A and B are shown apart, each in its own frame.
Chain A
Amino acid sequence: DARVTQTPRHKVTEMGQEVTMRCQPILGHNTVFWYRQTMMQGLELLAYFRNRAPLDDSGMPKDRFSAEMPDATLATLKIQPSEPRDSAVYFCASGLQGGMETQYFGPGTRLLVL
């Protein structure tokens, strides 16, 4: 049963600390998405990768957030320095590019910045 995996599932940190979230997309998928979910804003797209190349990161605060795909099996989202307003659930999703995409979401990383 192929699934997107995310680590850690939960993270509590203090303001100013660096946070790294990891995602393993489904094997063979060539698109990766990072989303943030909050009660106020709902689900927001932060970044989109296709074949490991970042194609869209317009939804991501550039000054503190960065997203990379070191290889096809790992995507990372970093926040440095973290702020309380970054508290949210961060989801990674993967898919196969071509026509209508189905995005398969991971279980999310619940981040709390104190």
Chain B
Amino acid sequence: TQLLEQSPQFLSIQEGENLTVYCNSSSVFSSLQWYRQEPGEGPVLLVTVVTGGEVKKLKRLTFQFGDARKDSSLHITAAQPGDTGLYLCAGARGSNYKLTFGKGTLLTVNP
């Protein structure tokens, strides 16, 4: 059973478009992280959200943690080719070290 469902699995858009990817669960998480992974590399942490309803912005990326702490979204404004990669969400429950990862959304931004 996959605790964290990410959608869509694949997304291909043109440079300049906006997009939103989702991370959903039936379980409550104490915190949730978003990572970006480029081909041949390990995931790199983008943000951690810990409070229900929290919104964090990182330049053109906006992250939101659901009020019930069961879901999260990542919105990218005016996507650029450099945004291309696999976006992973990961939730922690109780013990902060043990992360449950979603399978990711593979984003391709075409120039």
Contact = CB atoms under 8 A, between A and B. Distances in A.
Q: Are A and B a genuine interacting pair, yes or no?
A: yes
A97 interface: yes
Interface stretch (B17-25, B36-44, B56-64): B36-44
Interface string A96-108: 0101111111111
Contact of B101 (A4, A43, A95): A43
Contact of A107 (B41, B97, B99, B104): B41
Given A100-B31, A101-B97, A107 B40 contact: yes
Interface residues of B, number: 20
A56 interface: yes
A41 B103 CA distance: 7
B88 interface: yes
Contacts of B42: 4, 91, 93, 105-108
Report the interface size class on chain A. 20 to 34
Contacts of A106: 42
Contacts of A15: none
A97 B95 CA distance: 11
A61 interface: no
A41 B40 CA distance: 18
A100 B30 CA distance: 10
A82 interface: no
A33 B92 CA distance: 15
A102 B43 CA distance: 11
Given A42-B103, A100-B48, A100-B50, A56 B98 contact: yes
A31 interface: yes
A45 interface: yes
23 contacts: A4-B42, A31-B97, A41-B103, A42-B102, A43-B101, A45-B98, A45-B99, A56-B98, A91-B43, A95-B97, A97-B97, A99-B96, A100-B31, A100-B48, A102-B45, A102-B48, A103-B45, A103-B99, A104-B45, A105-B41, A106-B42, A107-B42, A108-B40
Interface of A: 4, 31, 33, 41-45, 48, 50, 56, 91, 93, 95, 97, 99-108
